[in-house]
């Protein structure tokens, strides 16, 4: 994730003409997409979609750790793209309407509390946040905003 993908990293295969393959990148589409980097962890042999590669500005991300009380949903895994939502506190037990602070964070690491009295609903999640959204994310965490991640599907 975050590494440049070059022509030598790819192998092109012919597939039957079918709308089932429309979401995958074709060789002509790739030729016009130089200098892109991987948006998620990629394994050998996977078909690439437009969502799997992003502009290199994503390499200018910074890491921030979020404490989420969401348990272990199946989408909360390294490499998953997500949106970072926040809601400023209104009072001790109330929050204002949430809004998307960053539409393109990437989950880098997920850790759970351990030990006898650990709360298995709490996860410490390291996310890569674009630099343009970092001040708002730090402000939200420092001021006890309600913070939540929602997964971004890789395939429409």
For residue 32, the model assigns a pLDDT of: 58
Give the whole-angstrom CA distance, residue 59 versus residue 61: 5
For residue 4, the model assigns a pLDDT of: 73
Q: What is the pTM of this model?
A: 0.60
Q: What does the pLDDT look like over 25-40, one tens digit per residue?
A: 777 777 656 667 777 7
Kindly indicate the confidence band of residue 115, based on its pLDDT and cuts at 50, 70 and 90. low
Kindly indicate the confidence band of residue 123, based on its pLDDT and cuts at 50, 70 and 90. confident
Averaged confidence pLDDT in the chain: 80
For the segment 61-72, the average pLDDT, to the nearest whole number, is 86
CA angle 152, 88, 124 (to 5 degrees): 55
Kindly indicate the confidence band of residue 141, based on its pLDDT and cuts at 50, 70 and 90. very high
Kindly indicate the confidence band of residue 80, based on its pLDDT and cuts at 50, 70 and 90. confident
Residue 149 has pLDDT above 70, yes or no: yes
For the segment 9-28, the average pLDDT, to the nearest whole number, is 75
Residue 156 has pLDDT above 60, yes or no: no
């Amino acid at each position: 994730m975050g590494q440049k993908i070059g022509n030598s990293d790819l192998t092109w295969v012919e597939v039957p003409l079918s709308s089932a393959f429309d979401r995958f990148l074709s060789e002509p589409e790739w030729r016009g997409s130089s200098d892109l980097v991987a948006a998620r962890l990629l394994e050998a042999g996977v078909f690439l979609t437009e969502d799997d590669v992003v502009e290199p500005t994503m390499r200018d991300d910074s890491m921030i750790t979020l404490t989420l009380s969401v348990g272990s949903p199946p989408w909360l895994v390294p490499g998953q793209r997500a949106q970072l939502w926040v809601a400023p506190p209104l009072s001790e037990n109330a929050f204002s309407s949430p809004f998307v602070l960053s539409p393109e964070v990437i989950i880098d690491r997920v850790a759970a509390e351990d030990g006898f009295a650990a709360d298995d609903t709490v996860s410490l999640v390291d996310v890569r946040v674009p630099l343009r959204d970092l001040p708002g994310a730090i402000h939200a965490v420092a001021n006890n905003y309600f913070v939540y991640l929602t997964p971004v599907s890789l395939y429409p």
